[in-house]
Chains A and B, each alone.
Chain A
């Protein structure tokens, strides 16, 4: 897909989002869902960048999200850092963690990368609950309860004044998604694709696998950490329960609905799936069962997601 088309799709999606508060601005419940749509869109896009474009099977995106949220929350509560500074700091921290996790992954083949990153996810929960986490201020099994909301020049963006907060989220989310879009369409993105499709040939052209894979780890974990930190300040409470697998599965469904490696698809998928999952709320505990089954069915039936349906012909034409 060309840059122009990507930009148009993203523009239309975010344009619709920007108009929606005019109609539903009074309903807190729906505004909350819209904010969640915008936040998950970034996480899903980051995941799509690392998995669909760079071909690195990272299952640690949720862990980076939680790391960012906790880091910023701890900075704000324990050390009194204003959220506006705590959020970028959390992004830098998760970016560094991403590099740390990425380093051992560079030498490994597919399933091992998935294992290491999934291991980070698995090991994070005992760390946050245990004595190490308590010493850092993670609140142990209670979690963080009193994270201050974002405050810019004395104006507080919290769920009390929903509409301005929504637009702040929209700006942040759009900025992150645009960064991802430009990365995909830049020299970087082409290098990622080359490395994924034919590593040996790409390296013979002088593309450094080491450099680019580490960069994609750093970039995706940085963006995920930032949006995670923002989520913490928006929501006000954090718990290690976020590391349970249902959030993981919902994110996966978002990517699969949109189409893995069909970039704006992840944004589209996030919007649809967050709304759809709210509609499935009456199912209660069965919702997770449905989500799991949905992943299986989507992989089998719709391998390229919704975007794949539209772009399938065109991609083939470009290739041929």
Chain B
């Protein structure tokens, strides 16, 4: 019925779609973290991509640097996620909070976090070397459905990132902390009047976003390599997803993440990986020109 070539092409495209779905799900994770921190604290974090690498490097360190390989990923998650939370919390308290009192503080924060990004990038290069590191797949083996082959790794990445987004959504909607976070996002002054500790919520949100992007780093570093230089590109990607989805909209971020994951996978497959950045940038410009509030964002 179909020629050999058509069938091969079909399988190839399926592979590309699977790759797009699994990277897209991690992009969604990163975009949700970014939307959250920008929506609540109004601070823009340029070092976002370097926390992605921080997650990857911490995981690598625990598995190979400290020789705790036997623990596998469960041990890594137990150790790395709290570390990321503490790092995020401390950075907010030490670096962002003092700036908050100044005039024009949003721009100061942008410059400060850009400095932080350069600091972390060069620190990784000094400590871990320029050579890229790789992490083992979280789950070996493949699932075969007829002629189609799915790697367990891809399925695992997809499931874990989507479930953590859902978990975050549940926390925001159903717990007291989540209520406080949403209150601060809507009206910081009003939230302070009713007794919500604003500074603590800012720091917590920053820490949560650090954990989310670091978790994304652990997941995606198994498929890519951990590259000390990639922080800036990852930050731009997360931001493109957030801007396309609409600032402050978690649902928009989800859609945008899959659109961009797919776009990247297809452009990479068809033209070569180095063109994906150009395609991404073109998409961003088109979005900002035609729909500046993003796909699902509310207009200002």
Contact = CB atoms under 8 A, between A and B. Distances in A.
A90 interface: no
B57 to A, nearest CB: 15
A295 interface: yes
Contact of B115 (A107, A111, A123, A252): A252
Interface in A258-303: 260, 285-286, 288-289, 291-296, 298-300, 303
Given A122-B233, A129-B274, A293-B119, A299 B243 contact: no
A190 interface: no
Interface stretch (B60-68, B98-106, B174-182): B98-106
Interface in B100-149: 102, 106-108, 110-112, 114-123, 125-126
B116 A292 contact: yes
A285 B110 contact: no
Contact of B236 (A110, A122, A126, A286): A122
Interface string B34-77: 00001000001000000000000000000000000000000000
B288 interface: yes
Contacts of B232: 118, 122, 245
Contact of B229 (A127, A244, A285, A289): A244
Interface in A208-224: none
A119 B281 contact: yes
A126 B275 contact: yes
A57 interface: yes
Interface residues of B, number: 42
A114 interface: yes
A249 interface: yes
A104 B120 contact: no
Given A245-B121, A293-B119, A300-B98, A123 B110 contact: no
B122 A246 contact: yes
Contacts of B114: 59, 249, 252, 295
A267 B172 CA distance: 48
B95 A296 contact: yes
Contacts of B117: 245, 292
Contact of A130 (B38, B106, B115, B274): B274
A122 B281 contact: yes
Contacts of A168: none
B275 A130 contact: yes
Contact of A293 (B115, B272, B284): B115
B124 to A, nearest CB: 10
A289 B123 contact: yes
A256 interface: yes
B239 interface: yes
Contacts of A115: 236, 239-240, 243, 284
Contacts of B115: 249, 252, 292-296, 298-299
Contact of A127 (B126, B278, B284): B278
Contact of B110 (A114, A246, A292, A293): A114
B292 interface: yes
Interface in A97-156: 104, 107-108, 110-112, 114-116, 118-120, 122-123, 126-127, 129-130
A127 to B, nearest CB: 7
B121 A292 contact: yes
B206 to A, nearest CB: 15
Interface in B237-259: 239-240, 243
B79 interface: no
Contacts of A111: 38, 44, 106, 110
B277 A285 contact: no
B8 interface: no
Contacts of B193: none
B126 A285 contact: yes
A107 B110 CA distance: 20
A140 B240 CA distance: 27
Contacts of A129: 274
Contacts of A298: 115
Considering residues B38, B107, B117, which has the most beta carbons from chain A within 10 angstroms of its beta carbon?
B107
Interface of A: 57, 59, 104, 107-108, 110-112, 114-116, 118-120, 122-123, 126-127, 129-130, 244-246, 248-249, 252, 256, 260, 285-286, 288-289, 291-296, 298-300, 303
Closest 7 CB pairs of A and B: A295-B115, A292-B119, A288-B122, A292-B118, A299-B112, A249-B118, A126-B274
21 contacts: A104-B285, A107-B292, A108-B288, A108-B292, A110-B107, A111-B106, A114-B44, A116-B284, A118-B236, A122-B233, A123-B281, A127-B278, A245-B118, A245-B229, A246-B122, A291-B118, A292-B119, A292-B123, A298-B115, A300-B95, A300-B98
Interface of B: 38, 44, 95, 98-99, 102, 106-108, 110-112, 114-123, 125-126, 229, 232-233, 236, 239-240, 243, 272, 274-275, 277-278, 281, 284-285, 288-289, 292
Given A245-B232, A292-B121, A295-B112, 15 more contacts: A104-B288, A107-B288, A108-B292, A110-B106, A112-B288, A115-B239, A126-B278, A127-B278, A129-B274, A249-B114, A291-B118, A292-B120, A295-B116, A300-B99, A303-B102
